[in-house]
Amino acid sequence: MNALKKKILVCEPTLAGNEEKYVLDCLRTNWISSAGPYVEKFEKAFASFCGTKCAISVANGTAALHTALLGLGVGLGDEVIVPTFTFIAPVNAISYCGAKPIFVDCEPDTWDMDVRQVENRISSKTKGIIVVHIFGHPVEMEPVLSLAKKYNLFVLEDAAEAHGAKYKGRRVGAFGEMATFSFYGNKIITTGEGGMITTNNDALAAKMRIIKGQGMDPGRRYWHPIIGYNYRMTNIQAAIGLAQLERIEDLIAIHRKNALAYQHLLQKDSRLTLPVERPWAEHVHWVYGILVNNAHKRDIIMQALEEKGIETRPFFYPAHIMPAHEENISLPLAQDISARGIILPSSANLTEEDIHYVCRELLAIADREL
């Protein structure tokens, strides 16, 4: 039976709406590059979804971070505070600007950055704070915004993993000066590749559009007053994104339902630590991550699940131990969580049978290994 079972992927897109219709419209009308009506439609719809005045589409989530940091004036010699437990993109983007990432550890339960550690890392060189809503659970924003106001710092939300997540009833993407999103193929909504910057600041939005468009003056074609980048999203990508956005509430509901199913099936096993949802949060569970109680067994368990047709992923390595960003500091929670974390299949395409199968095999392997 197991040999005949299809492989359960860790993440895959759900393309069940108007994606084909809108893409064919692009092809039939020849609007296939970064000009075309779907770019503006997607931007307006996404801004409305996040509750912001402006949304600026870009080529990918890392381009969104880089563009946003440039727009916020980050440059050589500046410092930007960032969690060490994150995908590497925000850390790389800080370095692209010639600035230095200043790392903080994570919380033991949400795995978000520990906001209590931020103030101790602020220096005279600190320009701002990047918060990462890890795996879809929002960071506690009020103390971060309070610190930013106290020290005159910007706050940039990296919401790449958290489309639609809520902090105290408000969707992420509208708390800081700007927020960035990724639409990579494994995200809650996707454009294949692609990203978005959201802001309530019209002047910043205008600046972002110049930066992402090769630095060209919008009122004077082929005049480039600043160094810019080709970070534009195509009309085809935006067409897919618009179709995805039309179904985002349903997709979020499925992710949350799947998380509840995992919770129900795994919560009694003391060998596993499951994700939490703070009372003030609405977790969108981009992925469903767990911790095993023995780091030395983590990879063995993942390999055993692979042999049963269940794809998994490890948690991110802490950024401060990466060779390109290495810093000799102790951030023990991130290192411990990274070593013990497993991302289970998390797509909106999962069936109830899939989740039962994953949990049954996981618990059987845990009986042998933990």
Residue 145 is classified by DSSP as: H
**Residue of 158, 152, 204 lying closest to 179 (CA atoms):** 158
For residue 180, the cross-strand partners are 158, 197
**Residue 226 token pair:** 């600043």
Helix 235-245 × helix 37-50 angle, to 10°: 40
- 91 close to 104: Cβ distance less than 8 angstroms: no
Annotated active-site residue 187? The verdict is yes
Scanning the chain, the segments in alpha helix (DSSP H) are: 19-29, 37-50, 61-71, 89-96, 141-151, 202-212, 235-245, 248-266, 298-307, 332-340, 352-369
- Catalytic residue of the set 100, 187, 297, 308: 187
**Residue of 51, 253, 282 lying closest to 162 (CA atoms):** 282
**Residue 285 token pair:** 């569970």
Instruction: Report how far Cα 209 is from the mean position of its chain's Cα atoms.
Output: 22
Active site amino acids = 187
